[in-house]
Amino acid sequence: MRREGELAAAIRGRERHLVDTLSRWVAIPSISTDPERSPDVRRSAEFLRQAALDAGFTVAEVWETAGQPSVFAQRIEDPRLPTVLIYGHHDVQPVDPVAEWEKAPFEALERDGLLLGRGTADDKGHLVMHLEALRGFLDARGQLPINLKLIAEGEEEDGSEHFQQLLAGHRDRLQADVAVISDTAMPAVDVPALTVGLRGLAYWELRVETSATDLHSGVYGGAVLNPITVLVEILAQLHDGQGRVAVPGFYDDVRELTPAERKEIADVPFDADEFAADVGAILGGEVDFSAAERRTVRPTLELCGIWGGYQGEGSKTVIPARAAAKLSSRLVPDQLADRVTGRVEAHLRRLAPAGVRIEFETISTGRWVLTSPDHPAVGAAAQVVAEVWGQPTRFVREGGSIPPVAAISEELNVPCVLLGVGLPGDRIHAPNERVVLDQLFRGTQAVGRLWERYGEMGRSGLSAPPGRPAQEPRG
Amino acid sequence: MRREGELAAAIRGRERHLVDTLSRWVAIPSISTDPERSPDVRRSAEFLRQAALDAGFTVAEVWETAGQPSVFAQRIEDPRLPTVLIYGHHDVQPVDPVAEWEKAPFEALERDGLLLGRGTADDKGHLVMHLEALRGFLDARGQLPINLKLIAEGEEEDGSEHFQQLLAGHRDRLQADVAVISDTAMPAVDVPALTVGLRGLAYWELRVETSATDLHSGVYGGAVLNPITVLVEILAQLHDGQGRVAVPGFYDDVRELTPAERKEIADVPFDADEFAADVGAILGGEVDFSAAERRTVRPTLELCGIWGGYQGEGSKTVIPARAAAKLSSRLVPDQLADRVTGRVEAHLRRLAPAGVRIEFETISTGRWVLTSPDHPAVGAAAQVVAEVWGQPTRFVREGGSIPPVAAISEELNVPCVLLGVGLPGDRIHAPNERVVLDQLFRGTQAVGRLWERYGEMGRSGLSAPPGRPAQEPRG
């Protein structure tokens, strides 16, 4: 008891430093999708490299990719100890519409136990959580009972295009017994959970062209095709009247949920009306599934952007030459991004009137992930989370996609423990992103306990039972 | 013959000056829809005021409105002579997409008998045509056989919101026997025509909101309504499979064309395939009408703009809070903008799913116009046009809308002669707007002859035959 109290106290002693470090890091606008922000992504990597050394990593390096830089760090205590690889990402989402932020998105604002700012929850907060847990552990104990590695990606929000290649190129240095990935959320502050499933992603752009130049709507109107009309008539046929995706074959590869799986989902406290009302949204989607199922274990086809013609003030009587949209699918077991892409593209092209010029581009894809809750590394994590939160740990599937998790699973062949402390109301990817600081503080406590538990279990104790896959998909 | 030769030669002598004046005026980016360009619209008015004095008007004033300034000018020779009021507009359309212009839109480029630049055809070129005709006439004859007034509006491209009020406030000073409005086009260089019909216009913005904030497409995707999906599903129901507008009651007030009217339209040379191919467009629209009818005498419902969500490079996995579109209708006799607005709004609201927040705003409206080809002022114009172009003059209905024509007809109760020298390929409202200089040169000749003819006819000769309306709608 006395040793545990020491550790907990040392980690608790890091809490103000955590808020301070995170606030300073939020000030670096590391938006990976915006080429003009590349210097900021690099500054963010440099910030993390230094912070990792300050926290107690003995090695910290910026790793180049063909895109944005990643950061690698390690602290090797003894090769015979288990090795844990932490994953997070240091890039952030764009911030538009900027006008809807309470404060400038890159000026962290602490208020009522929250920290607001782009990246506070997704995902800088999680990385700082790990750094402070390490520093606290070392302050209390002087050394770790495990070896610790960290890989922080710089383009997770841009589709992780170069991450798998980076892993493949550094497979030796990244070798580990277990990966702890912190980029997920829990259902509520009093419903602690580990994520054991993630949806995959395919993101596309559709461009429609009906003339070589913009046209006057009086001179041409009524006699020629309008690309916005063509586009909306195509896109309106992506869903049927029951909220189902109407692309032929879209659901062909979807693994059917067992009654037990559906019950498990239904048993997690989730108030769909409150979930929607909290952000002023309107429930919708497939009528045959609950909202909790629709947002986690069912595939989707969403329109993420649309544009064409005049968007300014007042009026412009124009028939534009072109219109376009961004579409994305969340994929579930056993869908494959390539097959879904082919079906969506074929459907869109089939719907286009003769003569219309269609371009369809795949922007990014990422595989879905399923982790076995029976794996001892997952079980140990569930136990420390239950201790810290004082409630039983649920195993949940999350609706988001973390393409690098699939990449880590495939390239490094390690079990992935998805230990994240976000909450549904964190507004990640949206204005006024925030993190609940108490979740981060509890997270540092859980991480400290987890390193201790993994040390006690040793390498053999962290192995999967024979004959059972720890993780799908496998490389 | 000798006198006519003198006049023609004097006007021809103005041609280089016309190109020069127009080029300098094009350099002033008088975009009336852009509040940031207001100082440029004012500079444009000042430019025109000075140019009118240089051309021979004896009075020239900038007239203020609640919006952009107009320019008034006059030259009174003798109160007993007929008075002609010229109408044009000195504001121009926005220039996006700027990247598609061959040269900067406000740097006039003369090439192959064309002058490229924003406003060369619509409508600065037409106003300069009148100025040079006046200057040439005075150079040859020393005085006019008529009194000449000019009113040039500063917000025609922004819906002419304050123009009718301006006319009402200056009814006395604007009094005239005939209005000559130059803001229209001919079917081809060898098919001279006068416009006797214009479509009306109603322009709206539709805004759809489904949540209070942008949402992460992984966390919320599948469980809530997506405003872009809602918007495209609504907009896709504006037309049926036959290209007809599907708004209930949309066609109720459309005056049926007589077989004679349809024949008149069919007799004007018009190659629909070439019309579309010239701008890389694809023919479309109502299957029961010819392309020539669809673009001139049939009402339309077009999407002029659409936007929502992420439009940048790469991907943003967002479900936006809002999406919106700009819609417009071209209206024909006997449709009324208010009634059509009511029907379109009701249709859109009926299509919206429960809970979706809909805003529908009317941006501007303008009435359709029909002029009688039998009016002597129109007949005289047809005669001079036939003489200058060496071909019989056609009477055509044009697809565009000139709300101020309806305003002039209503407020001043004068016949309107629509003498414009544009061509279908002028790309007005689009990148690479241009004017065919020979059309402008011929136009100056026609205007000079017309003033002479109107002088010969006198005030009594310019009156409409009793019992026949010269113009619809009437005030």
How close A419 comes to chain B (CA, Å)?
Answer: 17
Of A40, A123, A132, A156, the active-site residue reads A156
Residues 6+ apart with CB under 8 A from B178: B82, B84, B85, B377, B414, B415, B416, B417, B454, B462
Percentage with pLDDT > 90 across chain B: 86
Question: Does residue B283 have a pLDDT over 80?
Answer: yes
User: Minimal Cα distance from A398: which residue of B?
Assistant: B219
Task: Tell me the average pLDDT across B343-369.
Answer: 96
DSSP-based three-state secondary structure for B135 = helix
Of B153, B155, B156, B158, the active-site residue reads B156
How close A385 comes to chain B (CA, Å)?
Answer: 22
Inter-residue contact A297 to A335 (CB < 8 Å): no
Yes or no, beta carbons of B217 and A429 under 8 Å apart: yes
A contacts of B229 (beta carbons < 8 Å): 235, 238-239, 302-303
User: Minimal Cα distance from A315: which residue of B?
Assistant: B158
Sites in chain A below the pLDDT cut of 70: 1-4, 465-471, 473-475
Burial zone of A128 (CB within 10 Å; 0-12 exposed, 13-18 middle, 19+ buried): buried
pLDDT band (50, 70, 90) for residue B425: confident
B contacts of A295 (beta carbons < 8 Å): 219-223
User: Minimal Cα distance from B237: which residue of A?
Assistant: A233
Yes or no, beta carbons of B217 and A282 under 8 Å apart: no
CA triplet B99, B101, B106: central angle to 5 degrees? Answer: 110
Domain boundaries, chain B: 2-198+368-472, 201-254+299-364
pLDDT of residue A466: 60
Q: Count of CB contacts below 8 A, A vs B?
A: 371
A70: which 2 tokens?
């990643």
Yes or no, beta carbons of A295 and B220 under 8 Å apart: yes
pLDDT of residue B243: 95
Nearest by CB to residue B312, choosing from A94, A157, A212, is A94
Task: Spell out the alpha helix ranges (H) of A390-436.
Answer: 403-412
Active-site annotation holds for A91: yes
A contacts of B223 (beta carbons < 8 Å): 272, 275-276, 283-285, 291-292, 294-295, 399
pLDDT digits (tens, 9 = 90+) for B377-387: 999 999 999 99
B contacts of A363 (beta carbons < 8 Å): 314-315
How far is residue B146's CA from residue B132's CA, in Å, rounded to a whole number?
16
pLDDT of residue B373: 87
Classify domain A200-254+299-366 at the CATH topology level.
Answer: Alpha-Beta Plaits (3.30.70)
How close B170 comes to chain A (CA, Å)?
Answer: 26
User: Minimal Cα distance from A218: which residue of B?
Assistant: B400
How far is residue A458's CA from residue B97's CA, in Å, rounded to a whole number?
63
Yes or no, beta carbons of A300 and B94 under 8 Å apart: no
How close A141 comes to chain B (CA, Å)?
Answer: 39
pLDDT of residue A373: 87
* Number of other CB atoms surrounding residue A269 within 10 Å: 10
Of A17-31, A89-103, B155-169, B401-415, minimum mean pLDDT range: B401-415
Nearest by CB to residue A279, choosing from B211, B222, B280, is B211
Give just the sign of the alpha carbon dihedral B289, B295, B296, B302. Answer: positive
* B201-254+299-364 is a CATH 3.30.70.360 domain: yes
The residue with greater pLDDT, B373 or A87, is A87
Of A40, A91, A123, A398, the active-site residue reads A91
pLDDT band (50, 70, 90) for residue B475: very low
pLDDT band (50, 70, 90) for residue B463: confident
Distances (CA, A) of B385 to A168, B54, B264, B270: 77, 26, 19, 19
pLDDT of residue B98: 92
pLDDT band (50, 70, 90) for residue B4: low
pLDDT of residue A474: 44
Active-site annotation holds for A156: yes
Q: Do domains B2-198+368-472 and B201-254+299-364 have the same CATH topology?
A: no
pLDDT digits (tens, 9 = 90+) for A386-407: 999 999 999 999 898 888 998 9
B404: which 2 tokens?
């101020």
Distances (CA, A) of A287 to A294, B151, B229, B248: 9, 61, 16, 30
pLDDT band (50, 70, 90) for residue B403: confident
A398: which 2 tokens?
């999350």
How far is residue A369's CA from residue A87's CA, in Å, rounded to a whole number?
15
Yes or no, beta carbons of B272 and A223 under 8 Å apart: yes
Question: Does residue B393 have a pLDDT over 80?
Answer: yes
How close B3 comes to chain A (CA, Å)?
Answer: 39
Yes or no, beta carbons of A217 and B330 under 8 Å apart: yes
pLDDT digits (tens, 9 = 90+) for B174-209: 999 999 999 999 989 999 999 999 999 999 999 999
Enclosing H/E stretch for B225: none
pLDDT digits (tens, 9 = 90+) for B67-117: 999 999 999 999 999 999 999 999 999 998 899 999 999 999 999 999 999
Question: Does residue B133 have a pLDDT over 60?
Answer: yes
How far is residue A108's CA from residue A123's CA, in Å, rounded to a whole number?
14
ipTM summary value: 0.80
Identity of the amino acid at A183 = D
Task: Tell me the average pLDDT across B351-356.
Answer: 97
Yes or no, beta carbons of B276 and A159 under 8 Å apart: no
How far is residue A432's CA from residue B96's CA, in Å, rounded to a whole number?
32
* A2-198+368-472 is a CATH 3.90.1260.10 domain: no
